[in-house]
Amino acid sequence: MSFTTNIKNEISKIEGENKNNLYELSAFIRNNGYFDNNIIELNTENATVAKRIYSLIKEIFDIKIEILQRKNNSFSKNSFYVIKIEDLVLDILKKALVVDDNNKKIERPLLVVSSNEDAIRSYLSGVFLSKGSVNDPKTSRYHLEFLIEELEEANYVSDLLNYFDLNSKVLNRDKGYMVYVKEAEKIGDFLRIINASNGVMYFEDIRIYRDHKNMTNRLNNCEQANIERIIETANKQIEDINYVKENLGIDILDSKVLEVVEYRIKYPDASLQELSDIIAFETGKEISKSGLNHRFRKLRELVRKAIELENK
């Protein structure tokens, strides 16, 4: 069972106030229904969602409803359910904010819904039940989307999401419009908004695990890069030492440089900080990492000048 299905099943079992349930039903009819003056037909492939919508209609309007199970023509999908309403059709469409008193479709019932935060939550729940999907956080990317047929409704849904600062955006698709949210934290917020408590716990557990794993990987990568830099630096210093030995003679070095040369030969894999600690421990003389670096720079400069003279 997909993560989206789990979320839809969870929020389909939430009990709410009758008035707010009307907004949930409104969103479902507006986004997933066929209707005219005589009939309303609502479709879903999810049996739990079908029961939810059926119960809302019975609870709010107390009318006779027909619910049918039909086979989908696509071999990749299961049966789907059709909720058929033929009683009080216009009354339902008007009360559910689908059409106005002149029987024209309401494009943006924003002033009615946005004055009540609980109503917004219910409307977004209805949109998710009808057109929403969310990636399982175990997948490689975080993604919440709603596939909406009409641009005005897509912008409206995006506005309601952004009422909660979810950074929702609208993208044109071949068959309608995609309203989407990409940020993991914002998707978790959306699941809280629609009261998917179990979904939130699962999502956040996986998100925290992934964030921790990514942080560990970044630290490991950083540590590996540091090790590689240490080895590269030490190898260059040993190359300079070998050049001096073979071409100039080690006695040419002053006592301070000679000291760090001897310790570098003795501890070829040590970082400058480690070499500094070793020298301080063995000799009782403190020398900083920058002090070591300064002496190795003098060695490098000596080698550079010798090579230049050699090439003239």
10 Å CB burial of residue 295 (0-12, 13-18, 19+) is buried
Evaluate whether residue 208 is within a structural domain: no
**Sheet order of strands, 144-148 included:** 132-134, 144-148, 176-181, 169-173
The per-residue pLDDT for range 173-206, each reduced to its tens digit, is: 888 999 999 998 999 999 999 999 999 899 888 8
Number of domains into which the chain is organized: 2
Residues 228 and 189 in one domain: no
Report the first-to-last Cα separation within the chain, whole angstroms: 76
Residues 189 and 283 in one domain: no
Residues 26 and 148 in one domain: yes
Residues 261 and 173 in one domain: no
Residues 169 and 232 in one domain: no
Evaluate whether residue 293 is within a structural domain: yes
The per-residue pLDDT for range 72-97, each reduced to its tens digit, is: 665 555 778 898 888 888 888 888 88
Evaluate whether residue 262 is within a structural domain: yes
- Do 21 and 121 touch, CB atoms closer than 8 A? no
Evaluate whether residue 207 is within a structural domain: no
Residues 226 and 191 in one domain: no
Evaluate whether residue 211 is within a structural domain: no
Characterise 82 by phi-psi region: left (phi > 0), alpha (psi -120 to 50), beta (else): beta
Residues 189 and 257 in one domain: no
What pLDDT tens digit does each residue of the chain (312 aa) get? 799 999 999 999 987 666 688 899 999 998 988 888 788 889 888 889 999 999 898 888 888 888 888 776 655 557 788 988 888 888 888 888 888 888 888 887 755 555 578 889 999 999 999 999 999 888 868 899 999 999 999 999 999 999 999 999 999 988 899 999 999 899 999 999 999 999 989 988 888 887 777 777 777 778 777 878 888 888 888 888 888 888 888 888 888 888 888 888 888 888 888 888 888 888 888 888 888 888 889 888 888 888 888 777
Evaluate whether residue 214 is within a structural domain: no
Domain coverage including residue 161: 3-195
Residues 231 and 191 in one domain: no
Whether pTM > 0.75 for this model: the answer is no
| Residue 224 DSSP code | H
Evaluate whether residue 71 is within a structural domain: yes
Residues 13 and 105 in one domain: yes
